[in-house]
Amino acid sequence: MGENHERIIFHVDVNSAYLSWTAVKQLQYGENDIDIRLIPSVIGGSEEDRHGIILAKSIPAKKYKIQTGESIVDALKKYPDLKIYPPDYSLYMRCSNAMVELLKEYTPVIQRYSVDEVFMDVSHFKDKYMEKAYEIKTRIKEELGFAVNIGISHNKLLAKMASDFKKKDSVHTLFKDEIKNKMWPLPVRELFMVGKATEAKLHKLNINTIEELAKYKLEFLKPIFKSYANVIHNYANGIENSVVRDSNYINIKGIGNSATVKKDICDREEALKTLLSLTETATMRLRKNNNMCGVIAISIKTSGFYRYSHQKTLRNITDSTEEIFHEVTTIFDEMWNKEPIRQVGVRFSNLVGNEFYQRTFFDDKDIDKKRALDKTIDSIRERFGDESIIRSVFINSNVNPLSGGNGEDDYIMMSSIL
DNA sequence: TCTGGGGTCCTAGGACCC
DNA sequence: TCTGGGGTCCTAGGACCC
């Protein structure tokens, strides 16, 4: 660990990713004669489906204080002529993949942190890191058509903070000796892991900048922030030493699906249909991942935006759609307070590999049958499309038989931890 | 037509065991 | 008939990230 300070880490961050990628496609296919990156524009969900939030904004839109995550209605109040375009997730995945392929030419040590963020350990660049960074940035722009920021430092945290600096389409460094000038003057909210709630608590202590947090006595933070005190205090001082993890070897901790419904759900049957469709896609992903789960959780968001959740630890791990849905039904019946439902979700956790199970229970007739059925259905859907086999309850029903991402070409993402 | 969806981790409190 | 303490597992909720 002693030579950690000699690492060179890049954090590559696509500028306004969704918006840039949509812009590139529009220009390529002549769908739009203007470049939406140059006008006040956003990528936003469909208001009709109650997904009406801003997912990405152009730099001109930012000038009108339009923020990611706010409702489209609110954004339009700030700038009524705002142009709104729908997201195209499969396009985004292809753009992300193309970028990663390009980056792999420079190092195999790559961690996909999200669809538009990548960490690279490029210690082997030695003192040539600057020219390499410019080369990468230029190539992405010329070959793929979009702009990125590259943050450079000796650890992931500082590299990430650097790529976040104001100037876009740029290479930024943030080495230890630059912390004081480049990072400490920033509002404390800009520090990675300081969100809304933590910011409010820090303000109460009269901590407003990252520098003030860095210099605050750790002992005084501990009673308020518990173990979190160490994390944010270290981060404020630029201390962080996690390795760039090859995304292929990160094991996922949970798999889930949730969906906001077009109209509030008020009856049990409809809620269960929605839960079944979410369960179908999530269990398919579970099996595709060769996992079984030990815990099943359901979450509900009411029309009044109140959220609650219940979970259950299973006696036996499983990956069977039928078994899991049976538990889902039980949990739902135990928890639902009859309030209209805006969003429901299922999540499976305590994942374990299925190799052991396959060996041990191969001769249990009942389990064997269920697993064989799931396997057959999965492979039919794989070959003939997801809609080729659907459950009869969905016929003549307006509930989508398979909702949520079905894991096609998905990749592992670890948000909120480096 | 106001507020998406997919993750991870931490904490507090209760149950249960020794 | 007074009333310990530690460990582990489980649950619900909250905080953070993109």
Q: Whose CA is closest to A154, among A188, A184, A180, A129?
A: A129
A13-17, A211-215, A390-394: segment of lowest average pLDDT: A390-394
Q: Whole-number Å distance, CA A312 to C1' C1?
A: 39
A307 is near strand C: CB distance < 7 Å? yes
Q: Which of A47, A101, A105, A117 is catalytic?
A: A117
Q: Whole-number Å distance, CA A260 to C1' C10?
A: 29
Compute the distance between CA of residue A184 and CA of residue A161 in angstroms, rounded to an integer: 11
Measure CA to C1' and name the residue nearest B4. Answer: A51
Task: Please spell the DSSP secondary structure of A334-396, one letter per residue.
Answer: HH--SPPEEEEEEEEES-EESHHHHHHSTT-HHHHHHHHHHHHHHHHHHHH-GGGS--GGGTT
Compute the distance between CA of residue A241 and CA of residue A13 in angstroms, rounded to an integer: 20
The string of pLDDT tens digits covering residues A165-182 is 999 999 999 999 999 999
A199 is near strand C: CB distance < 7 Å? yes
Compute the distance between CA of residue A357 and CA of residue A34 in angstroms, rounded to an integer: 56
Enter the DSSP assignment of A398: S
Q: What is the pTM of this model?
A: 0.94
A50-64, A205-219, A276-290, A376-390: segment of lowest average pLDDT: A376-390
Give residue A2's pLDDT band: very low, low, confident or very high (50, 70, 90).
very low
Share of chain A above pLDDT 70, in %: 95
User: Can you give the length of chain A in residues?
Assistant: 418
Q: Whole-number Å distance, CA A225 to C1' C4?
A: 30
Classify A205 in phi/psi space as left (phi over 0), alpha (psi -120 to 50) or beta: alpha
Average pLDDT over residues A323-334: 98
Strands A41-44 and A83-85: parallel
A113 is near strand C: CB distance < 7 Å? yes
The string of pLDDT tens digits covering residues A350-388 is 999 988 776 666 567 788 888 889 999 999 998 888 888
Average pLDDT over residues A102-131: 97
Average pLDDT over residues A334-357: 94
pLDDT for residue A362: 57
Query: Is A135 known to be catalytic?
Result: no
The string of pLDDT tens digits covering residues A202-256 is 999 999 999 999 999 999 999 999 999 999 999 999 999 999 998 888 889 999 9
Q: Whole-number Å distance, CA A325 to C1' B15?
A: 27
A367 is near strand C: CB distance < 7 Å? no
Average pLDDT over residues A52-76: 96
Compute the distance between CA of residue A241 and CA of residue A1 in angstroms, rounded to an integer: 9
Is it the case that residue A390 has pLDDT exceeding 80?
yes
A116 is near strand C: CB distance < 7 Å? yes
User: Residues A144, A98: contact at Cβ < 8 Å?
Assistant: yes
Distances in Å between the Cα of A311 and the Cα atoms of A275, A294, A323, A356, A403 are 14, 10, 15, 24, 21
User: Helices A268-288 & A321-335, crossing angle to 10 degrees?
Assistant: 140
Compute the distance between CA of residue A367 and CA of residue A373 in angstroms, rounded to an integer: 10
Mean pLDDT, chain A, rounded, equals 93
The helix (run of H) or strand (run of E) holding residue A60 is: helix A59-62
Three-state DSSP class for A201?
Answer: helix
Termini Cα distance of chain A: 17
Give residue A1's pLDDT band: very low, low, confident or very high (50, 70, 90).
very low
A37 is near strand B: CB distance < 7 Å? no
Is it the case that residue A406 has pLDDT exceeding 80?
no
pLDDT for residue A70: 95
pLDDT for residue A359: 64
Distances in Å between the Cα of A129 and the Cα atoms of A162, A245, A250 are 15, 20, 27
Q: Whole-number Å distance, CA A382 to C1' B7?
A: 25
What residues contact A415, with CB distance under 8 A and at least 6 apart? A113, A114
CB atoms within 10 A of CB A321: 24
Compute the distance between CA of residue A42 and CA of residue A85 in angstroms, rounded to an integer: 6
Backbone angles phi, psi at A111, to 5 degrees: -120, 115
Identity of the amino acid at A387: E
Q: What ranges in A237-267 are assigned the alpha helix state H? A: none
Is it the case that residue A5 has pLDDT exceeding 80?
no
